[in-house]
Chain A
């Protein structure tokens, strides 16, 4: 097994052979057995997380991947099958640790979102859309988890976790975006200038009545519970409050799901709330704390979005490499051509850089805005580049849906847009570093200042 342009492993000048000839100490220092990049990275993890990564990959390959292409074209039975299997496997109840949920406590040597990142990379390597469908559930539940509101956790999170543990999928969705406000709900300065919020909560006896529309809600059409953010009547964005709204509540409807470029297995729904009554106990984290909760959720979710981008990119690379291994060109395989090897190496480098950043970012227990936003923006942009390279490698075969790379490209493009466009995420880095960045410049800059005075 060798590739054109490279020495076979048994050649005396190959490192595979040459290292074996060193003295034992030297061999111990430099020699190693061949391993895939996936195995090399996995080996750096603590054993429980290695297991988590391996199991997620097996699940993705056996359950998600077989439905990926069909669900991208049209919603069929695949989504339900994947949801049911994910519930049975514990992937919808791992929001909380055992014994209440299915997350293994042993994985908490790293922050809980580290495990989410491992999972999301594997799921989205198989299918960006189905991966998002599963991931959006965790996003919908995140406001409850991050609010510190134990009552809300008991009342709203645990019953859902119990249902999922029993193998009956029960899904959360996260609803912040409004028709006239995409970036304004993801960025403080814009929110502060915003006029009338679109979703308003009016006080009534025993609770609130919510009125307004939310758009582009991932998984909104299949969600049983939605964490909806609304301003209190007569107040601005500072009054934003998080409410848990149940599917089937009178006045709640899903008038539309979008036709999207990619990640199509996961719907982007419009939610219409017409005087939907929400009892007081469905307020999460207290009145007027919605903005803080929202920003916290974005800090925690943008790192997994980086992992989604990474997974999609890896999936594209795998499709392209499979094609290059199998396709003859000019009497040899495509992979035997040097230009193809350069493209593959570039994709491997890019995905490795993304993974390094995601794992580093997810290793901090508190998700910082600058770190999360930088990870999301870098990975989103890099993922699109990797997918372009994968399609480029496959040439006009890269245009075929069946080849997988074009779907990955369409899927990846969304990671530059959702959870704040990558422009908004770059500005989020600045906002979070404002103390450092607005500091009075040091002496070394004095010459420049004098020159500009």
Chain B
């Protein structure tokens, strides 16, 4: 069992030099182009499990995943350092513009590794399970993380977010094939929060064959029933802090991935409007097309500016609240912008080999995972109104 010291180590001061970040981002852009994109060369065909694993292995070689704690140049290597979070946002959106599902997998591996590191575990390929049976427990989770003791109604909702014990209803999670362990937050009978490390086989994962978006990442039913999980930390305060951090990282990541997917849609639409003609002129010349793309351009700028330049960190309760509000504000406009980009293609946008419909599904997926907009709104409301 790890102790709470693992969560609050005497960490060296983090300082990320801008030049280092620029070099890394350039390397990631090259990696996205040369490694991620070729892993799924045809838009209508999802990457194989082997191809996704190969990308993950190459990402390890690239140094995308932290080897030490903290490591501001690695993905989620220093969530409390604004430049490192900014770097993560840019890295994830760049990777997602090449392939959203693969980028999602790399994010999960990085966050899982971060959790394991902070909890003193040497487990590898750790899947972070941050989603309850129905999203974010309708505000009850926010109230719990804010230190409010759960009333009976919240306790019932939290039982859905921390589904342990004898309830056999499974958890729904998205993950590529390549994971060996899962790290789950759990609520003990006395109300304290802790983390549990589960071996894959103990969760009896059952794959669901068909789901919307993020092809290349599978949907699984997990059953964390019984006592098979290794309890990682008994200190409720430390465990809570780590859950806040993990949720904040994940919230920022979901937005960054959606933004990357939109970048992909935008680039494809931008090319298409110059090639395609209607009424004897490129469709670029039609105001109807310009309006669609102008909205998409504005949304991209808004999202990129907000995410990239606001000094976002992802380690405190305030960070989580901030990230949740950003996601609530930006997720739907990003999804709308992606659908606007598809619309400029007319019938071709609807066909799988043009790649636009994949983006549409990926973005929709990201809108619903880890809390739908309604769920997120209740999370934000709880954080604002019950703090």
Binding site for B on A (CB under 8 A): 73, 177, 180, 182-184, 187, 189-190, 193-195, 215-216, 258-262, 268, 327, 329-332, 334, 337, 339, 343, 384, 388, 391-393, 395-402, 406, 409-410, 413-414, 416-418, 421-424, 426-427
How far is the CB of B281 from the nearest CB of chain A, in Å?
Answer: 8
Q: Does B211 contact A (CB under 8 A)?
A: yes
Q: Does B368 contact A (CB under 8 A)?
A: yes
B157 and A399 within 8 A (CB): no
A329 and B134 within 8 A (CB): yes
Given A215-B347, A397-B172, A417-B346: A329 and B352 interface contact (C-beta under 8 Å): no
Q: Does B83 contact A (CB under 8 A)?
A: no
Q: Given the complex of chains A and B, what is the CA–CA distance between A343 and B375 in angstroms?
A: 12
B352 and A398 within 8 A (CB): no
How far is the CB of B382 from the nearest CB of chain A, in Å?
Answer: 12
Q: Given the complex of chains A and B, what is the CA–CA distance between A289 and B226 in angstroms?
A: 74
How far is the CB of A407 from the nearest CB of chain B, in Å?
Answer: 9
A330 and B153 within 8 A (CB): yes
Q: Given the complex of chains A and B, what is the CA–CA distance between A422 and B279 in angstroms?
A: 17
B350 and A417 within 8 A (CB): yes
5 other contacts beyond A184-B278, A261-B351, with CB at 8 A cut-off?
A259-B44, A330-B138, A393-B374, A413-B342, A414-B350
Given A392-B373, A395-B135, A399-B365: A261 and B360 interface contact (C-beta under 8 Å): yes
B210 and A400 within 8 A (CB): yes
Q: Does B288 contact A (CB under 8 A)?
A: yes
Q: Given the complex of chains A and B, what is the CA–CA distance between A330 and B160 in angstroms?
A: 7
A421 and B135 within 8 A (CB): no
Given A258-B351, A409-B364: A396 and B343 interface contact (C-beta under 8 Å): no
Binding site for A on B (CB under 8 A): 44, 131, 133-135, 137-138, 140, 153, 156-157, 159-160, 172, 174, 208-213, 219, 277-281, 288-289, 292, 339, 342-343, 346-353, 357, 360-361, 364-365, 367-375, 378
Q: Can you name 14 A-B residue pairings with CB atoms under 8 Å?
A: A193-B280, A261-B352, A262-B350, A327-B134, A329-B133, A384-B339, A392-B368, A396-B134, A396-B174, A396-B369, A399-B212, A399-B368, A399-B369, A410-B212
Q: Given the complex of chains A and B, what is the CA–CA distance between A396 and B129 in angstroms?
A: 14
B375 and A395 within 8 A (CB): yes
A194 and B351 within 8 A (CB): no
Name the 9 nearest CB pairs between A and B, nearest first.
A190-B279, A401-B210, A331-B156, A330-B157, A193-B280, A406-B212, A261-B357, A423-B288, A259-B352
Instruction: Tell me which of B209, B281, B347, B369 contacts A417 (CB under 8 A).
Output: B347
A259 partner residues in chain B, CB cutoff 8 A: 44, 351-353
B160 and A329 within 8 A (CB): yes
Instruction: Tell me which of B131, B138, B280, B364 contacts A194 (CB under 8 A).
Output: B280
How far is the CB of B218 from the nearest CB of chain A, in Å?
Answer: 12
Given A182-B346, A258-B351, A417-B346: A398 and B368 interface contact (C-beta under 8 Å): yes
Instruction: Tell me which of B140, B278, B357, B368 contacts A391 (CB under 8 A).
Output: B368
B210 partner residues in chain A, CB cutoff 8 A: 73, 400-402
Smallest CB-CB separation from B349: which chain A residue?
Answer: A417
How far is the CB of B109 from the nearest CB of chain A, in Å?
Answer: 20
Smallest CB-CB separation from A188: which chain B residue?
Answer: B279
How far is the CB of A428 from the nearest CB of chain B, in Å?
Answer: 12
Given A331-B156, A417-B347: A180 and B277 interface contact (C-beta under 8 Å): yes
How far is the CB of A387 from the nearest CB of chain B, in Å?
Answer: 10
B343 and A416 within 8 A (CB): yes
Instruction: Tell me which of B140, B288, B352, B373 contacts A260 (CB under 8 A).
Output: B352
B160 partner residues in chain A, CB cutoff 8 A: 329-330
A262 partner residues in chain B, CB cutoff 8 A: 350
Q: Given the complex of chains A and B, what is the CA–CA distance between A388 and B278 in angstroms?
A: 30
Q: Given the complex of chains A and B, what is the CA–CA distance between A260 and B135 in angstroms?
A: 30
How far is the CB of B231 from the nearest CB of chain A, in Å?
Answer: 25
Q: Given the complex of chains A and B, what is the CA–CA distance between A330 and B163 in angstroms?
A: 11
Smallest CB-CB separation from A195: which chain B residue?
Answer: B280
B342 partner residues in chain A, CB cutoff 8 A: 413
Given A184-B278, A260-B351, A391-B368: A399 and B134 interface contact (C-beta under 8 Å): no
A337 and B279 within 8 A (CB): no
Q: Given the complex of chains A and B, what is the CA–CA distance between A268 and B374 in angstroms?
A: 36
Q: Given the complex of chains A and B, what is the CA–CA distance between A261 and B369 in angstroms?
A: 20
B368 and A418 within 8 A (CB): no
Smallest CB-CB separation from B286: which chain A residue?
Answer: A423
A268 partner residues in chain B, CB cutoff 8 A: 347, 351
Q: Given the complex of chains A and B, what is the CA–CA distance between A427 and B292 in angstroms?
A: 15
B213 partner residues in chain A, CB cutoff 8 A: 399
B374 partner residues in chain A, CB cutoff 8 A: 339, 343, 392-393
A339 and B378 within 8 A (CB): yes
A398 partner residues in chain B, CB cutoff 8 A: 212, 368, 372
A422 partner residues in chain B, CB cutoff 8 A: 343
Q: Given the complex of chains A and B, what is the CA–CA distance between A99 and B307 in angstroms?
A: 67
How far is the CB of A178 from the nearest CB of chain B, in Å?
Answer: 11
B157 partner residues in chain A, CB cutoff 8 A: 329-331
Given A258-B351, A330-B156, A399-B365: A427 and B346 interface contact (C-beta under 8 Å): no
How far is the CB of B134 from the nearest CB of chain A, in Å?
Answer: 5
Q: Given the complex of chains A and B, what is the CA–CA distance between A377 and B353 in angstroms?
A: 26
How far is the CB of B269 from the nearest CB of chain A, in Å?
Answer: 14
Smallest CB-CB separation from A264: which chain B residue?
Answer: B352
Q: Given the complex of chains A and B, what is the CA–CA distance between A189 and B212 in angstroms?
A: 38
A399 and B219 within 8 A (CB): yes
Q: Given the complex of chains A and B, what is the CA–CA distance between A421 and B378 in angstroms?
A: 36
How far is the CB of A278 from the nearest CB of chain B, in Å?
Answer: 25
How far is the CB of B52 from the nearest CB of chain A, in Å?
Answer: 19
Which residue, A413, A414, A422, A427, has most C-beta atoms of chain B within 10 A?
A: A413
A410 partner residues in chain B, CB cutoff 8 A: 212, 361
Q: Given the complex of chains A and B, what is the CA–CA distance between A334 and B133 in angstroms?
A: 12
A73 partner residues in chain B, CB cutoff 8 A: 210
A402 partner residues in chain B, CB cutoff 8 A: 208, 210
Instruction: Tell me which of A183, A260, A395 contacts B278 (CB under 8 A).
Output: A183
Instruction: Tell me which of B140, B174, B348, B375 contacts A330 (CB under 8 A).
Output: B140
A409 partner residues in chain B, CB cutoff 8 A: 212, 364
A329 partner residues in chain B, CB cutoff 8 A: 133-134, 138, 157, 160
Given A193-B279, A261-B360: A401 and B211 interface contact (C-beta under 8 Å): yes
Q: Given the complex of chains A and B, what is the CA–CA distance between A339 and B378 in angstroms?
A: 9
A400 and B350 within 8 A (CB): no
How far is the CB of A377 from the nearest CB of chain B, in Å?
Answer: 12
How far is the CB of A217 from the nearest CB of chain B, in Å?
Answer: 11
Q: Given the complex of chains A and B, what is the CA–CA distance between A215 and B348 in angstroms?
A: 10
Q: Given the complex of chains A and B, what is the CA–CA distance between A337 and B157 in angstroms?
A: 11
A332 partner residues in chain B, CB cutoff 8 A: 156
How far is the CB of B221 from the nearest CB of chain A, in Å?
Answer: 10
Smallest CB-CB separation from A407: which chain B residue?
Answer: B212
A395 partner residues in chain B, CB cutoff 8 A: 134-135, 368, 371-372, 375
Given A193-B280, A261-B360, A427-B288: A177 and B134 interface contact (C-beta under 8 Å): no
